[in-house]
Structure 1
Amino acid sequence: MDMLRRMKIEYGLSDLKWIEVDQTFQSENGKKRIRIWKDKQLLQWHVKWRDEISKQSGILLDRMIRTKDGEPFFICDKGWATIHDEVEEIFPATGKENEWGKLLGTSLTYGLKQSDECQRFKKKQDIPLKAVKQTLDQLKALDPMAKLVLERSYFEASRRCRKVLQLRERMQTKRSPILSPEIKLTNAREVFHNLFWVCGADQPIQGYEPIRNFLEDWYNKNGEISTRKVLASINDYFPLKTDEGVSLLAELVTPNELQRTVSQFENQEKETSVIMDEFFNSWETTRKLVILLSRWIEEDGEKVVAR
């Protein structure tokens, strides 16, 4: 059966017209997006995630529109189909730190609870730094100057890995939240001056990596003062000035930049100058964020990072 006709039946809609076939369509109730899911467990996780974060935070998410029978999806010949409101207005960042903090804090609180309940999603394992160095040594065609810089960065990365171990050894809790990888500034939309978050359809990640990526992006775009406001707002909904904050700090200290850069050279993804510029910028941003977060935590407690 034609998908538009099927959606008319399932949702009681009319006057449907494709904007992008099998992606977005226009209805009498506005623009909608259709997503096709191949993994029912992943779909069910996303349904619950959206419902819980929206309920607990009061923030709008691109939740699954219910069918006439009250179901969040319907079965089609391609898998399971969901329908979502499609919003295009971009939500601002600066001046909206409280809203973003509420979203992140609520996501972390619920994500930590999920880590106790859901065993399907395993924590992402760090790739051993020695394996990264081995790959770097095998890049024979790499620009000599770029290779020299990365080889020297390896020693600093080793020091950072030792610091990560020290941070993790002092933590009493070993739990990691299960989070959507789509916690991104680019996924923020605005509905009547309110934040509307697009959650995507990717596999969730167990660990603080999505928060690290978000904070790096936020810091680069909005600076230190705004970043501190976001951290303070997160702390209103999630106890960052505890072992959980130290866990986030350990994630920031982990030298992901070196691993990502070597992988980009291995796969020849971009020009050498572009990759190295991104590496320098990311390395410096991470350094500044580690100092910022450690000092912010120390404001009300003991030191967490040795200078």
Structure 2
Amino acid sequence: MNVHTLLQAVHQHYHFHTYHSVATSYGLEIQTNCGPKQVMLWKEKSVLMWSFLWSEELVQMGSRYANRMIRTRDGAPYVQVNEHWITVTDLLEGTKWRPQEDSGPFGQWVGQLYRCFFRVTDTVNQQHWHKALDQQLEHPTELYNEEDLKKKIITMSPSDAFTSLVKPHWPQIEKRWRSALTLLQQSQVPSLYSVKSLTCDQFIKDGYERIHWQPGAWRMTKGFEGVAHLLCELIQADTEGIDRAKTFYLSFEQSYSPKMGEQTQILGHVIYPQSFLDIAKKYVYADIDVDQACQRWLERCDHQENIDLFQQWLAKRIDSLRGDAMSV
């Protein structure tokens, strides 16, 4: 859908006037007489309704930080334009959340977000929207054919710099891959609808130190892969990253109270060597050159020790909680 059509729909259905617009990957950012707005273009109504429900649920839970969909002149939260739908929300102003900031309140807020996801999942099932929504999901993790990728790397020229760099590390990559798959299979995929990836820069801190989620476009999945992504980002930020990740997780626990299987799934996603496999896959399929691949691989190796230390801490915590549960 082109910019002109989007702007026409906004002008027709909303009460404000637009005087500047910029196209984005998810729609538009517009300047209006009522402040900056974000126009989202939706191809699937099921995903739109899921988004509407969790933002309204956040309000029902008493949060003042929900960025609700702005109602049209007719009071609707969205507008249908041909075979698509559009929504408008405030474009939040502030600074992007940095991994070096206080992770305690951040963990509490993300836990609250997942409580909304949990409650909305019940609504989705009761309203029988789950079949339509399930068709839009991505698998909770991209389970590469590790053996196939391994063969492609091994059959490359021995003089290839990336191949020489990767081969000594591959047994550990394979070990992590198998350990993660075992944990993910044991945990069983929860029915909770969520987002595949959460990153710190999706969160905005306003002038009152309040945290808001402004993700733009996202990919949907089931489970807790997004939490694991945030944990890994915090760990890799600097030398204090492990402590901040622990604080984040403990605060998340207090706010959401994940079940044992859900915690096991988070651990599986933390262990899963996604970044290493991403780099190898991009190199094998010539999406990056050898210098880029080697540099990214070495940078990832620098962070792996801290991720290993965190996953050991998390595994011990899960075992401790399991022991406490069995003794009750």
TM-score, normalised relative to structure 2: 0.78
Contact 1:176 1:206 in 2 (8 A): yes
Cα distance in structure 2, aligned partners of 1:199 and 1:54: 18
Question: Which structure 2 residues correspond to residues 88-167 of structure 1 after superposition, within 5 A?
Answer: 88-93=93-98, 96-112=102-118, 114=121, 117=125, 118-119=130-131, 120=134, 121=137, 123-124=139-140, 126-140=143-157, 144-164=160-180, 166-167=182-183
Cα distance in structure 2, aligned partners of 1:273 and 1:241: 39
| Equivalent residue, structure 2, for 1:268 | 287
Give yes or no for the alignment of 1:10 onto 2:26.
no
| Equivalent residue, structure 1, for 2:218 | 202
Question: Which structure 2 residues correspond to residues 172-187 of structure 1 after superposition, within 5 A?
Answer: 174-175=189-190, 177-187=192-202
Change beyond 3 A, Cα 1:39–1:282: farther
Change beyond 3 A, Cα 1:35–1:106: same
Percent of aligned positions that are identical: 16
Cα distance in structure 2, aligned partners of 1:211 and 1:284: 20
| Partner deviation per Cα, 1:78-126 (whole Å, 9 max, x = no partner) | 7322112112311545554333222322333444562893351363452
Deviation at 1:257, TM superposition (A): 2.9
User: Which residues of structure 2 form unaligned runs of 5+?
Assistant: none
Of stretches 193-202 and 159-168 in structure 1, the one that deviates more from structure 2 is: 159-168
| Partner deviation per Cα, 1:162-198 (whole Å, 9 max, x = no partner) | 4335545665x55253222352210111233211110
Cα distance in structure 2, aligned partners of 1:31 and 1:103: 24
Give yes or no for the alignment of 1:292 onto 2:308.
no
User: What is the total number of aligned residue pairs between the two structures?
Assistant: 300
SS in 1 for 2:77: coil
Change beyond 3 A, Cα 1:205–1:3: closer
Cα distance in structure 2, aligned partners of 1:211 and 1:149: 30
Equivalent in 36, 42, 55 of residue 41 of structure 2: 36
Deviation at 1:301, TM superposition (A): 4.7
Change beyond 3 A, Cα 1:166–1:126: closer
Of stretches 108-117 and 4-13 in structure 1, the one that deviates more from structure 2 is: 108-117
| Equivalent residue, structure 1, for 2:63 | 58
| Equivalent residue, structure 1, for 2:253 | 235
| Equivalent residue, structure 2, for 1:253 | 271
Contact 1:61 1:196 in 2 (8 A): yes
Deviation at 1:254, TM superposition (A): 2.0
Cα distance in structure 1, aligned partners of 2:178 and 2:7: 56
| Equivalent residue, structure 2, for 1:217 | 233
Cα distance in structure 2, aligned partners of 1:232 and 1:162: 27
Deviation at 1:213, TM superposition (A): 1.4
Cα distance in structure 1, aligned partners of 2:155 and 2:64: 48
Equivalent in 12, 26, 30 of residue 25 of structure 1: 30
Structure 2 counterpart of 1:187, one-letter code: Q
Equivalent in 69, 81, 96 of residue 86 of structure 2: 81
Deviation at 1:31, TM superposition (A): 0.7
User: Which residues of structure 1 form unaligned runs of 5+?
Assistant: none
Give yes or no for the alignment of 1:46 onto 2:62.
no
Change beyond 3 A, Cα 1:126–1:112: farther
| Equivalent residue, structure 2, for 1:71 | 76
Contact 2:192 2:223 in 1 (8 A): yes
SS in 1 for 2:205: strand
Contact 1:143 1:272 in 2 (8 A): no
Cα distance in structure 2, aligned partners of 1:257 and 1:278: 11
CA-atom RMSD in angstroms? 3.1
Deviation at 1:274, TM superposition (A): 2.5
TM-score, normalised relative to structure 1: 0.82
Change beyond 3 A, Cα 1:139–1:31: farther
Change beyond 3 A, Cα 1:27–1:132: same
